[in-house]
Amino acid sequence: MPLPRLGTRSVRLRTAPAVFVVLAVALSGTMLAVSLGGQRHGRTAGAPSGRIVVDVSGSRCGRGWTRPEPGVRTFDLHNSSDGAAEVYLEDPGSQVVYGEVEGIGPGTTRQLTVRLGKGTYAFKCVPDDADAVTGPSVRITGGQRGPGAAPVSEHDLIPPSLAYQKWVGGGLDDVVRLTVKLKDAIDRGDLAAARSAWLPAHLQYERLGAAYDAFGDADAAVNGTDAGLQGGMHDKDFAGFHRIEYGLWHGEPADGLRAPAAALVKAVTGLRDSWSQTRMDPAQLGLRAHEILENTVQFELTGRTDYGSGSNLATARANLDGTREVLSRLRPLLTTRYAGLPELQKELDQAQHTLDGFHRGGSWTSLDRLTRTEREDVNAVLGDLVERLASVATLCDPRRTV
């Protein structure tokens, strides 16, 4: 997926799922094994001690694993075909996956390290343009195997995606209502009331974080920044919540804010009215659960989206709410696949407690008012949460089984 131009839409990133596959390794014992190594070109004639050379071509999938033994083993997966392929190490009966490598190019080798234990294993080779092929089964009689997970299909993700999309529709109703309230305050010249109305409207939009990709170009008109715009904050294309935020907290008169406020109401109303005809990609729902807070760490905790209101921590709290909404729809799939789900819930609660501590007397502490210890605490709790959510993205990444 290409990165958006930051000047024409909100500063949310779209990161390939493979990134999260790598991150998941940090969560020891909570996720299946994945490849960390890059491509190595050329046929592997042999492997260093302790490593096993396995062919992943369609005609010889899984060949080369002749001495299955328990313990931590590293496989050199060599693609001798003329096309790219994914490879899973699975239980051929249950299809529970214990290791995976994506995008092994033709003529290249990738490594996969897995903890093997009692059970049956087989490599499944999934070429880009052909049917999946399952190699010969091998049986190991002793030892403790590493964690695995049953694959999730796009069909599995349709019900939670539809449920989430319905929730977003209700959230957009609230965004319109609150944005109209903001516009009304600006229209009557009551800028104090407008500043009070701005934050609730903006936070309600931020809670819908997993839907932004489906919002398309409308997101730029609603939540765009000045990044990449030639005129910066004074550019004619700077629009939406942050454009109004800049004016409200930098002494701009109401006359200059009426047109941006009207444009914002028009944008959110159009988004709401067209939402029933929009279709979110079910395959992206798990990825979005991770991305919401990944972007929070990158943009809110660094202050890159502060245009004067000092509300980054409030936005982070709204993003946390948005993450919970996605996870609540994915919970039925995660309960039987993700052993770390209870710990994830604890970290969500800890992050909420930490952020709520900066909401005092009806106002939010700005980033520049945090002590060094407070800043470190916020960065640590949200950073840890982002790493744990990487497993959700990996587990909910649909895998081909045929």
Average pLDDT over residues 35-42: 47
In the structure, what pLDDT confidence band is assigned to residue 23 with cuts at 50, 70 and 90? Answer: very low
**Whether residues 178 and 207 fall in one domain:** yes
- Do residues 218 and 323 share a domain? yes
- Give residue-wise pLDDT tens across range 325-361: 999 999 999 998 898 999 999 999 999 999 999 999 9
Q: Is residue 400 part of a domain?
A: no
Judged against a pLDDT cut of 80, whether residue 43 lies above it is answered with no
Confidence of residue 39 (pLDDT cuts 50, 70, 90): low
Residue 163 domain flag: yes
In angstroms, the Cα distances linking 390 to 18, 74, 291, 397 are 10, 23, 9, 11
61 & 177 share domain: no
Are residues 130 and 165 located together in one domain of the fold? no
- Greater pLDDT, 25 or 367: 367
Same domain, 258 and 391: yes
Assess if residue 390 is contained within a domain. yes
pLDDT at 4 over 50: no
Q: How far apart are CA 260 and CA 183, in angstroms?
A: 9
The sign one gets for the Cα dihedral 60, 64, 69, 74 is negative
Which among 140, 172, 195 is the end of a domain? 140
Q: Is residue 227 part of a domain?
A: yes
235 in the same domain as 336: yes
Q: How many structural domains is the chain composed of?
A: 2
Q: Do 124 and 186 belong together in one domain? A: no
When pLDDT is averaged across residues 315-321 and rounded to a whole number, the result is: 97
Q: Quick one: what percent of the chain has pLDDT higher than 90?
A: 74
Q: What is the CATH number of the domain that holds 114?
A: 2.60.40
Range of the domain at 304: 154-395
Which pLDDT tens digit goes with each residue over 64-111? 998 899 999 999 999 999 999 999 999 999 889 999 898 899 999 999
Structural domain includes residue 24: no
* Model pLDDT for residues 172-197, shown as the tens digit of each residue: 999 999 999 999 999 999 999 999 99
The answer as to whether 210 is a domain residue is yes
What's the rounded Cα separation, in Å, for the pair 273 and 271?
6
Q: Tell which wins on pLDDT, 147 or 117.
A: 117
Which residue, 77, 149, 158, is CA-closest to 399? 149
- Residue where one domain finishes, among candidates 140, 174, 204: 140
Q: Does position 32 have pLDDT exceeding 70, yes or no?
A: no
Residue 20 forms part of a structural domain: no
Q: 359 has which bridge partners?
A: 364
Say yes or no: 114 and 162 in one domain. Answer: no
Claim to verify: residue 94 and residue 176 sit in the same structural domain: no
pLDDT band at 34 (very low <50, low <70, confident <90, very high): low
The b/e string for 205-217 (b: 16+ C-beta within 10 A; e otherwise) is: bbbbbbbbbbbee
**Are both 48 and 192 inside the same structural domain?**
no
Q: Does residue 220 or residue 30 have the better pLDDT?
A: 220
Same-domain status, 123 and 224: no
- Residue 224: CATH number of its domain: 1.20.1420.20
Does residue 26 belong to any structural domain of this protein? no
The answer to whether residues 80 and 162 belong to one domain is no
* One-letter amino acid of 188: R
